[in-house]
């Protein structure tokens, strides 16, 4: 019966009037939505509906998009055509609601269409990292705000870093990013560093569980960072002196850091990274001590270190200088996803942050090598 109906509809395409074709289109669409078909049968419907849709006006295409956006029977070829339509009235429902659209089509739309199309995509029930990475590159503030509010969106480190940069001066975007539960701690601290007092108050009201973290972050940013190594020692000052001399001679390189790490010389590695990054020692300390190691990976990528050097640093700060193969593979994938320019941007942000003078009760902590 299905075959017979489709043959009749195909004949209508060839010899019917425009009015008959329109009626045939809606009949085929209603039949598709109401029925239960396998993928081969859906493909046949797609061929017929696709041909009929070529002849209809924008209002009818928009109606077709609204009908197909919420059905699991929507043919892939028709969905792709509607999603890439220049009219947001046509493309919008598909981009926002259709579960039959693939990641490649979403990315193609982001790269080729205007902000209203991107806004529709930002509202989808779920968004993979590949899509959000493209969105944060090309979106205006309205789209970024929508994206930051979407609980079904997933972000890479690059995505978070780029949105934090765009949140400068945009209190709404900053607030929405701060409310995301999965945002890494060090990126949350960057947001708090740039957030207005009003945003901080709103966050404490909306998420009382964040109050302690906000206050801790503000304290950390002000310079009261916990030292991993305890009171400054003769060993540390000797390391500082030796590494600084090598730096002044132009001999402090990536190879130097790798050798320090492989030899378990943590003081030399810390001082060396501080000099190469032009960051205070306590900031580098915190990056090395951080349990998820995201900031350390960012610093290594910003310095354009290879994976072997980065891996040596991971082993240096790991408990017992050991890591499981799974953890190491995960860090390698995370490191590969980081983009050089994005990491250099965040390094610049850290350099520009003013670190307050160490309080009298903290003078025994590791001294800073540079004023920021």
**In whole angstroms, what separates CA 218 from the centre of its chain?**
24
Residue 196, CA distances (Å) to 175, 278, 289, 349 in order: 10, 27, 28, 17
Count the Cβ atoms, other than its own, within 10 Å of residue 168: 11
Residue 59, CA distances (Å) to 62, 110, 200, 343, 344 in order: 5, 23, 46, 46, 48
The Cα diameter of the chain in Å comes to: 93
Count the Cβ atoms, other than its own, within 10 Å of residue 217: 22
Q: Where are the alpha helices (DSSP H) in 150-210?
A: 157-166, 171-178, 185-194, 197-206
Domain spans in the chain, listed from the N-terminal domain onward:
1-101, 234-362
- Nearest in space to 240 (alpha carbons), one of 264, 263, 273, 286: 273
Q: Are 346 and 161 in contact (CB under 8 A)?
A: yes
Q: Are 129 and 182 in contact (CB under 8 A)?
A: no
Residue 369: per-residue pLDDT: 33
Would you write out the chain's pLDDT as a tens digit for each of its 372 residues? 456 666 666 666 676 666 767 777 787 788 788 877 788 778 777 777 777 777 677 888 898 899 899 998 888 888 898 999 999 999 999 999 999 999 999 999 999 999 999 999 999 999 999 999 999 999 999 999 999 999 999 998 888 888 888 888 788 898 888 888 888 776 777 677 666 666 766 766 666 665 555 555 544 443 433 333 333 456 778 888 899 999 999 999 999 999 999 999 999 999 999 999 998 887 888 888 777 788 899 999 999 999 999 999 999 988 888 888 899 999 999 999 888 888 888 888 777 763 433 333 333 343 333 333
Query: Would the pTM count as exceeding 0.75?
Result: no
The rounded distance, in Å, linking the Cα atoms of 271 and 247 is: 10
Residue 96: per-residue pLDDT: 96
By three-state DSSP, how is residue 153 classified?
strand
**In whole angstroms, what separates CA 24 from the centre of its chain?**
44
Residue 295: per-residue pLDDT: 86
Integer Rg of the chain from CA? 28
The rounded distance, in Å, linking the Cα atoms of 153 and 119 is: 13
Residue whose structure tokens are 């030796």: 242
């Amino acid at each position: 019966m299905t075959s017979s109906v489709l043959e009749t509809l195909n004949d209508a395409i060839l010899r019917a009037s425009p009015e008959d074709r329109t009626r045939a289109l809606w009949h085929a669409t209603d039949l598709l939505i109401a029925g239960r078909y396998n993928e081969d049968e859906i493909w046949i419907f797609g061929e017929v509906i696709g041909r009929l849709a070529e002849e209809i006006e924008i209002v009818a295409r928009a109606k077709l998009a609204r009908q197909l956006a919420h059905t699991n029977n929507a043919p892939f070829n028709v969905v792709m055509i509607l999603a890439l339509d220049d009219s947001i009235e046509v493309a919008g429902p598909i981009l926002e609601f259709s579960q039959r659209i693939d990641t490649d089509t979403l990315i193609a739309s982001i790269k080729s269409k205007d902000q209203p199309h991107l806004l529709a995509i930002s509202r989808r029930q779920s968004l993979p990292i590949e899509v959000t990475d493209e969105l944060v590159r090309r979106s205006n503030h309205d789209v970024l705000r929508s994206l930051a509010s979407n609980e079904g969106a997933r972000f890479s480190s690059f995505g978070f870093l780029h949105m934090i940069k765009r949140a400068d001066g945009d209190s709404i975007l900053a607030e929405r990013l701060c409310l995301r539960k999965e945002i890494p701690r060090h990126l949350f601290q960057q947001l708090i560093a740039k957030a207005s007092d009003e945003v901080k108050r709103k966050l404490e009201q909306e998420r009382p569980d964040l109050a302690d973290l906000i206050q801790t972050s503000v304290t950390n940013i002000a310079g009261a960072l916990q030292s991993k190594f305890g009171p400054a020692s003769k060993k540390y000052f000797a390391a500082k002196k030796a590494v600084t001399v090598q730096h002044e001679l132009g001999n402090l390189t990536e190879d130097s850091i790798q050798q320090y790490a492989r030899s378990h010389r943590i003081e030399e590695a810390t001082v060396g990274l501080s000099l190469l990054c032009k960051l205070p020692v306590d900031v580098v300390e915190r990056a090395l001590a951080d349990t998820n190691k995201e900031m350390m990976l960012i610093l290594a990528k910003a310095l354009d270190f290879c994976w072997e050097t980065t891996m040596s640093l991971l082993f240096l700060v790991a408990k017992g200088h050991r890591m499981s193969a799974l953890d190491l593979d995960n860090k390698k994938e995370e490191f590969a996803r980081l983009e050089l320019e994005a990491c250099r941007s965040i390094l610049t942000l850290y350099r520009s942050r003013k670190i307050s003078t160490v309080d009298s009760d903290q003078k025994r902590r590791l001294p800073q090598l540079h004023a920021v």
